[in-house]
Structure 1
Amino acid sequence: MDRAPEPPRAATPGGVGAGGAAMTRPQITIQNTHSERRRLKMAGRVGSRWWWTLVILPAMAVSACGGSRLTHDDILAAVNGGPLPAGVAQQQSQQGAVSVVPQNGVAPSAPGTSGSGSVSGSGAGNASSVSAGTAAGGGGVHGSGTSGAVAAAGTGPTAARPAGPLAPIVVGNIGNYSGPAGSSLSGAEPMIRLWAQWINARGGIAGHPVQIFTADDGGDPQRSLSLVKDMVEDKHVIAFVGDQIPFTMKSQLAYLHQHNIPLVGGDALDPAWTADSLAFPSGTTFAESVLGMYKTAHQRNLIKLGLVYCVEAPVCSFVHDYTVNGGASRAGEDLVYQSQISLTQPDYTAQCLGAQSAGAQVVFLGMDTNSILRFAASCARQNYHPIYIQSSLAANNALLGNRDLEGFFTASQVFPFMVDNTAATALFHRAVQQYDPSLQLSVASAVAWSAGELLSRAASEVGAVPTTQDILNGLWSMRGETLDGLTPPLTYVKNQPSPPVQCYFLIELKGGRYSSPSGDTYAC
């Protein structure tokens, strides 16, 4: 069986999404899940039985040739109330905190734990943590909740109870959470774990707990493939949900087809999201997002367009080719300047002077969030202040309050993360306030949440033992699905690439704050 190699140790302990060398933050989140709309239906099946979820944080590295971790069968047995496998007590004392989640949804803290959420170990691509308690130590520990609370939002007799002892829905999540794209994408990983906590405490998906393994591939294609193999062959995932893999998607596809494992929602940046039959975008696809930004620029009388795009990622080359081969002109834009850059450049003065000389009023920046900040600073030093546009996944708190970026706008592929005026978006914000109110929200986190909700809708009719085919059948049944307004209309076709998702939500920076001119309404 293929196992991921031992990763380079990160220079900075803790935290996902730090730039620099590739690193892995593999995590497991096991929670008890159950769909709210299934609660009454499943109540008779669940009854008043108590059940427990085992939570383990190994604090030691796991080599490619071995290591100490529970097998999938061990985990499944524990979830279903079986005895702990031999040696687990010893592992618990060596590897980290253990917590349990009783049926009332409240997790008592075990020794060395504080709060509810997810923790990660330092294994080599092998997920080694389960949510329900957060260890207070170091070694890549991620807190994702407030102390003790795992119960669903809501009070009184209508509040959902955690899921019964049905077979878990086992899924994975992989992202370019460190490396060149980390500053833009890292917000997705804590959000998908938070979503798992929320959905599990509300009773799960059709009574099944969701078990989610997360890992950081650092933008390395070979590492990404190794992680996929480990999750499919060792962790037995039946789908990937909310993956953020613009640098590494193509390295996975051949293997995913061998095992018929779908990608349920994700970054939607690579053209493969609309070219591969196992990719199911959960929001606006990239070419359509770029076109939406160009149309918006034209509507705002920003007719002269500049394009600056990176050399590192295939998606950057794609946006260049799309723009010069009709994308700009289709929106009525005049492409007056273009330049390829590196994400590692400390300064972009030459490109700023070139765009300024060409008279570019609006500049598309094909780069990550950190590079956007450096680019805007370089141009401001030349007294050049165009309007900037970029992939919506770069829109996070790092841009807030930056005067050089005033007027920045983007076409978000899912609901604007700052909006809470619908039932679905209010639920998103309520879950964040309940489980991790300090979490910094971004488009990446909204994409992760929407992908989780897409999985929940697709898996609503799973059988007693959830399968990949159950997930695929649920996805293929969707026609114009918006997940109650979280996404533009989504349609999938059996065994065919997903149709492009044309519509988008607008987000902009005004007065140093994010806002959505159209609120929760998408444009097409």
Structure 2
Amino acid sequence: MTRSLRLAGIACLGASALALTACGGNGDDGAKKTTVNPALTKSEIKLGLIVSRTGTSSSSDKSGADVALAWQRWVNAGQGIAGHPVRIVVKDDKSDGATATAAAQELLADPNVLSITTEASNTEQPVASALGGKDVPVVGATGYQTKIWTAQPNYFPTAPQAFPATVAVQIASAKAVGAHKFAAVYCAEIAACKEAVGLYGPIAQQQGVQYVGSVAASTTAPSYTAECLRLKNMGADLVQISIAPAAGRKLISDCTGQGYKGYFGVTAGAVNADITKTPNAKLVGGLQGFPWWADTPQVKQFRDAMKKYAPDADYANPASTAVWSTLELIRKAAANLPDKPTRKDMTAGLHTIKDEDLGGLLAQKLTYTAGKPGPAINCLWVYKMQNGKFASAPLSGPSGNSAASGPLKSDCMAAPAAG
């Protein structure tokens, strides 16, 4: 799938997540000197991470590297994995397909890298072309393309794919804030952005929400006053932002300036500081990683580890928590690795995962079966944000994980019935 198609595939709601630019480093940060429990005398385990630390999707993905390295330090200060110290081998794909392919090939060529995790919105397809069907397990974290994550036997998904989950949750989340009329603003420059528009009506009908229309907007427009007035005239009280973050920030400012009082929809990788720190933003949507603010022992452990081992990192986003839960799932799968583990051993460990959700750190209970592709994941956590404060906003249906209620309760989305 091309980048433009992926913009549509994430509700063109992830379009904002894929057009961000930031700065970061490159290289194997996990090799830097870190304190290791002297009791960990077995051989070092390497785990690969391909992450967009720089480039167009970095604002959505780059925090995954900081989280992975903090997790490494946290694990090595404790019991390691089956008595082994761990090293995260970080590769920055720079949000570029050729760079991602090279990174994947480098990790594949090192047999001591027992698994590979990806947090790279722009480069799923080239990475899959390099790693699909190979002997190395590819385990999470964020992945939007269903045809990749549920087709390759060496792929182990941990987070929801784009269809139908991230499209449906954006509309369903209207119920979490009492909104009734859903509209979307999508990028005018990319034809694929409009492709998602045809999904809104059927999904809105399924979710009991009225779809009132969509508005095309140029990401380089000097003002969105006209678009905002159209949205107000439609009566919309939830407007999905499906344009780049810089434009999204301006849209929020212009619409609130025109008296719009409703919420803006932002889901998955688009939930990052570029949007969440916009003044006067009222946001609602779904998260592919667990809510980092939850007051539960598992989430508190995550926050404590981040504060101790990466005190300057920005972990208040779902990319961060998706990486943490993925690494925790790997740790569980690897609990019985032998003294000299191989990729085959890691894969066998992953196939012992049955009905696992890490106590609510995964949105859906996962089972991996030898010889079969990974499961489709259609569950997310619904949130809302106002005045810069996040809160869980679970819907009334059954949970996809073991948290029947509370901040870790997830909601599962179904595809609209054919008609």
Answer yes or no: is the 8 Å Cα contact 1:304–1:333 preserved in 2. yes
Structure 1 distance, partners of 2:198, 2:292, is 30
Q: Quick one: distance in 2 between partners of 1:234 and 1:501? A: 30
CA deviation digits over 1:337-392, x for unaligned, max 9?
A: 22455666665445434433333221222345444323212323433343111223
1:292 aligns with 2:180: no
Q: Do residues 283 (structure 1) and 159 (structure 2) align?
A: yes
Is 1:305 aligned with 2:206? no
Partner residue in 2 for 1:6: none
Output one character per residue of 1:75-104: Cα deviation in whole Å (capped at 9) or x when no partner: xxxxxxxxxxxxxxxxxxxxxxxxxxxxxx
Aligned partner (choices 200, 212, 215) of residue 91 of structure 2: 215
Alignment of 1:19-30 (within 5 A): 20=21, 25-30=25-30
Aligned counterpart, 1:430: 304
Contact 1:277 1:495 in 2 (8 A): yes
Contact 1:309 1:341 in 2 (8 A): yes
| Partners of 2:20 and 2:60 within 8 A in 1 | no
Q: Matched residue pairs, number?
A: 379
**Cα RMSD after superposing both structures:** 3.1
Give the TM-score, by structure 2 length: 0.79
Q: Which residue of 1 aligns with 2:325?
A: 450
Opposite residue 520 of structure 1, the aligned amino acid is L
Partner of 1:185: 61
User: Equivalents in 2 of 1:273, 1:350: separation in Å?
Assistant: 40
Conserved 8 A contact 1:309-1:366: yes
Q: Give the counterpart of 1:476 among 332, 351, 357.
A: 351
| Distance in 2 of aligned mates of 1:372 and 1:431 | 33
User: Which residue of the partner structure matches residue 313 of structure 2?
Assistant: 439
Matched, 1:230 2:106: yes
1:335 to 211, 219, 243: 211
Question: What does 1:85-164 align with in structure 2 at a 5 Å threshold?
Answer: 130-132=31-33, 150=35, 161-162=37-38, 164=40
Normalising by structure 1, we get a TM-score of 0.65
Distance 1:399 1:502, change over 3 A: same
Against the structure 1 CA distance between its residues 353 and 233, is the aligned structure 2 distance closer, same or farther, given a 3 Å change threshold?
Answer: farther
Aligned to 1:485: 360
Q: Residue 400 and residue 288 in structure 1: after superposition, are their counterparts in 2 closer, same or farther (change >3 A)? A: closer
SS at match of 2:360: coil
Identity among equivalent pairs (%): 26
Q: Deviations over 1:446-489 (max 9, x none)?
A: 11111111111122222222222222222222222111221122
- Asked if 1:196 is matched to 2:84, the reply is no
The 1:425/1:404 distance shift into structure 2, 3 A limit, reads: same
Asked if the contact 1:400–1:513 (Cα under 8 Å) also holds between the matched residues in 2, the reply is no
Structure 2 residue ranges without an equivalent (≥5):
1-17, 394-405, 413-419
Q: Which runs of 5+ in 1 are unaligned?
A: 1-16, 31-129, 134-149, 152-160
Q: Secondary structure at the match of 2:240?
A: strand
Q: Of the two, which has the highest radius of gyration?
A: 1
Shift of 1:300: 4.3
| Match status 1:265 vs 2:140 | yes
Distance 1:18 1:308, change over 3 A: closer
Q: Structure 1 residues 300 and 515 mapped into 2: Cα distance closer, same or farther (>3 Å)? A: closer
